[in-house]
Structure 1
Amino acid sequence: MDDFLAARSQMALSLGFHIIFACIGMVMPFFMATSHYRYLKTGEKEYLQLTKAWSKGVAIFFVVGAVSGTMLSFELGLLWPKFMEHAGPIFGMPFSLEGTAFFIEAIALGLFLYGWNKFNKWLHWFTGVIVGISGLASGILVVAANAWMNSPAGFDYINGEYLNIDPIAAMFNEAWFTQALHMILAAFAATGFAVAGVHAGLLLKKTKVSFHKKALRIALSFGAVAALLQPISGDISAKDIAQRQPAKLAAMEAFFVTEKGAPLLIGGIPDEETQTVNYALHIPKALSFLAFGDFEAEVKGLDQFPKEDHPPVAITHYAFQVMVGIGGLLMLLALLFFISRWKKPLWEDKKWFLRLFLLATPLGFIALEAGWIVTEVGRQPWIIYGIMRTRDALTPMPGIQYSFYLFTAVYLSLSVVVLFLLSRQIKALETSTD
């Protein structure tokens, strides 16, 4: 494994690990606060039990997200020093603000966890809300930094120098809103369906039925709404990418030849040598409409870009298809959930209904990972789109593969610890009595 592949593999592993735990840690506090609010309004002890159970999960994911996020910060400087040398002064502001949001989240979480029966009950509830808001702000700020890599702004690039730096313009670049919106909805959908899946599995075992029904409804209320809004966000993102990163759009769709009235491809196996896509379903003119709102609009293919600027087509296309396919499936499940809320008797008592959501437990996170592959791999070969190539940002230090092996071991160890702690929490819910 050469140093460049090792460095990219290490960042892929780190981001792939961190994004799951960061998203759960960002979303779960809202579930916790909702359950806590219902306890304060109704006095039902099951909501109190649920709040305390979920707060333990929030604490676990906060700690793991903090550890993996800190490691990522070090990796940026270790692996990509040229990138940090030039980019740091430009997009450092969102990272600095993210640190502030992180500290607020940590303080609020500590107050919530140790504030039972010590604060005014509504002040205590509000500290839980602050955990969610600060976590959400932290996620948005990190995504703003990533969006800057896709849509560089806030500086002038003249003769290889970065001049007239404006950190505010860099943070609020053209891509930050669309990426942040898409990411937030993805986090809520993935976490909502995952948490609901856990409680659906426990409902199938007929343990604490009323308790787990309450949990299922709260989690799916958030996850289902996000899943139904996600296609709107995806459409906004696709139109934005078509304008700013047409090569990425071409890779996502495995679109090799520029064409007016371009068809949308569903599935298919791209062949980059022959520039064809086999076994795909073609929907006439649909890509032109989705990208530009015009059935006859011209969509640029990869033939319009130098070969050295082509993103890896196959992996980008497959990841995009996985993301969209799972997104569509979760949208159908969201509709099923809302229909079930109108029916009497509710489908929540039906095994087939619970099994569907149990099977859907990992799907949101698979789509989340696929979406980040599209974002990151689809930007290649650029680390700063159109300005700095990823290879040019690589550290000259040799032996990066050993760093990759070390970080892999650390992340695997963290995964084992998290799975152990979560299994204990789930077992406690399963074996406890009403």
Structure 2
Amino acid sequence: MEDLLAARLQMAVSLGFHIIFACIGMAMPFFMAYSGYRYLRTGQPLYRDLTKAWSVGVAIFFAVGAVSGTALSFELGLLWPEFMEHAGPIFGMPFSWEGTAFFLEAIALGLFLYGWDRLPPWIHWGSGVAVGLSGVASGIFVVAANGWMNAPTGFDWVDGQAYNIDPVAAMFNDAWFTQSLHMTLAAFAATGFAVAGLHALLLLRQPHNLFHRTALRIALTVGAVAALLQPLSGDLSAKDVAQRQPAKLAAMEALYQTSQPADLLIGGLPDDESRSVAYAIHLPGMLSFLAHGDFEAEVLGLDAFPRDEWPPVLITHIAFQVMVGCGTVMALVGVLFMFLQWRRSPWLQQRWFLWLLVAVGPLGFVAVEAGWTVTEVGRQPWIIYGIMRTADAVSPMPGLVLPFLLFTGIYLLLTFVLVWLMVRQIRTLPEHYPSARLTDLPPNNSAS
């Protein structure tokens, strides 16, 4: 395996693993804070137990995420020294702010976990809100740094060196807002549907369990709203990419020839040799509209760029289709959920709907992984778009396949530990939280 491929695969594994924790760290604390708010307002022990149970899950994911995030910070310098030498002084600010947000999140989480019955109730609740706000801020700062790689600004590049560096302009680059908005909504949608799917699975085993019913309602409401808002942020992102990275858009849509108007493709398998896409469904003029707001607008194809500047079309296109497909399914399920709520349908008693939630549960994180694949692979061959190629930034140290295999093994071990801890936590819910044994059946039917 070539060192460049090994380095890229190591970053792919590391980011693919860590991004799950980033999403959960952004969204899950707000579920915890909402149930805590309901407890303070109603005094119902059910909400207290739910808050405590969710806080343990937040702590587990936070701890494992801290390990994976630390590894990533070292990998940037070890695998891409040329990149960090030039980019570090420019986009170091969002990373420093991310570190600050991380420490605030850790402090707030500690106060929340150990502050039960020790802190005044509303101050204790506020520390839980601070966990969520710090998590969202942390995610936005990291995405801002990634946005700079897609839209480099805040410096003058002369003879391979950066001059007149403006870290603030670099952090608030042209891509930071659309990427941050899209990522934040994706985090809430993915986490909401995943948590809802988990509690739906537990409800299939205990159909009248109030603990899981309450948890499912909270998580699915958040996930559905985020999934329905996501297409709006996707439209903003598409128009932004069309302006800044037209080659990436062309790869996303496998548009080999500049077209006016341009069709939107659903599905299909691109072939670079023949410059065609097999088995695709064509929607006339829709790509022109999505990219430029005009059904007759011209959209640049890959033929407008040198062949050595094409992103890997097959991977980018399929990842984009997977992301859109998963997001569409989640949005449709969100519409169905809201319709059933509006009709006051007993949807929590419908096994088909619970099975649907179980099936859809993982799709949010599949979409997140696919979306980051589009972002990173679609930027190739550049590590800093239009400035520095990825091949020029990789470490000259030979044998990079060895750390790739080592880190992959570490992440597999962390995955095993995480799954074991979460399964253990779920199995002991009735033991530690009395409300997890409650049902909505009348007392005379409780035996059934």
What range describes the TM-score normalised by the shorter chain of this pair? over 0.9
Aligned to 1:151: 151
Question: Residue 26 of structure 1: CA displacement?
Answer: 1.8
Distance of 1:239 and 1:294 partners within structure 2? 11
User: What is the distance in 2 between the residues matched to 1:345 and 1:313?
Assistant: 45
- What residue is the counterpart of 1:395 in the other structure? 395
Contact 2:264 2:286 in 1 (8 A): yes
Measure the CA separation in 2 of the matches of 1:430 and 1:268: 48
What CA distance in whole angstroms lies between the structure 2 residues aligned with 1:65 and 1:320? Answer: 26
Equivalence for 2:117? 117
**Identity of counterpart residues, as a percentage?**
68
Any idea what the Cα deviations from partners look like across 1:14-53, whole Å, max 9, x if unmatched? 0000001121122110000000000110111111110000
In structure 2, runs of 5+ residues without a counterpart are: 439-448
- Deviation, structure 1 residue 208: 5.9
Aligned to 1:315: 315
Q: In the TM superposition, what is the alpha-carbon distance from 1:211 to its structure 2 partner?
A: 1.2
Helix, strand or coil at the partner of 1:165:
coil
- CA contact 1:208–1:433 (8 Å) conserved in 2: no
Out of 437, 440, 444, the position equivalent to 1:433 is: 437
**Correspondence for 2:180:** 180
Q: Matches of 1:78 and 1:150 in 2, distance apart?
A: 21
Report the equivalent of 1:292.
292
Partner of 2:71: 71
Alignment correspondent of 1:325: 325
In structure 1, the partner of 2:252 is 252
Q: 2: distance between equivalents of 1:121 and 1:286?
A: 53
Aligned equivalent of 2:408: 408
Partner of 1:340: 340
Matches within 5 A, 1:29-108: 29-108=29-108
Call closer, same or farther: CA 1:285–1:251 in 2, change over 3 Å: same
The aligned residue for residue 445 of structure 2 is: none
Alignment partner, residue 443 of structure 2 = none
CA deviation string 1:178-231 (max 9, x = no partner): 000000000000000000000001111126611111101110111111000000
* TM-score normalised per structure 2: 0.96
Verify the 8 A CA contact 2:152 2:170 in the aligned structure 1.
yes
How far apart, in 1, do the equivalents of 2:295 and 2:353 lie? 39
Q: Give the number of aligned pairs.
A: 434
1:382 is aligned with what amino acid?
A: W
Paired residue secondary structure (1:273): coil
What does residue 197 of structure 1 align with? 197
- Structure 1 partner of 2:212: 212
**CA-to-partner distance for each residue in 1:330-368, whole Å, 9 max, x for gaps?**
000101111122223421111011111011111100010
Aligned equivalents of 1:399 and 1:265: distance in 2? Answer: 41
Whole-Å Cα distance in 2 between the matches of residues 118 and 351 of structure 1? 42
TM-score by length of structure 1 reads 0.99
Contact 2:207 / 2:349 at 8 angstroms: preserved in 1?
A: no
Structure-to-structure mapping, 1:126-141, within 5 angstroms:
126-141=126-141
Aligned mates of 1:14, 1:22 — CA distance in 2 = 12
- Secondary structure of 2:266's counterpart equals strand
Cα contact 1:202–1:430 (8 A) shared by 2: no
Shift of 1:429: 2.9
Is the 8 Å Cα contact of residues 26 and 184 (structure 2) preserved in structure 1? no
RMSD over aligned Cα atoms: 0.9
Structure 1 runs not aligned, ≥5 long: none
Offset at residue 123 of structure 1 (A): 0.3
Alignment partners' CA distance in 2, 1:381 and 1:149: 12
Given that residues 82 and 394 in structure 1 are in contact (C-alpha distance below 8 angstroms), is that contact kept between their aligned partners in structure 2? yes
User: Equivalent residue of 1:296, what SS?
Assistant: coil
Report the 3-state secondary structure (helix = DSSP H, G, I; strand = E; otherwise coil) of the residue aligned with 1:299.
coil
Contact preservation (8 Å) 1:22, 1:61: no
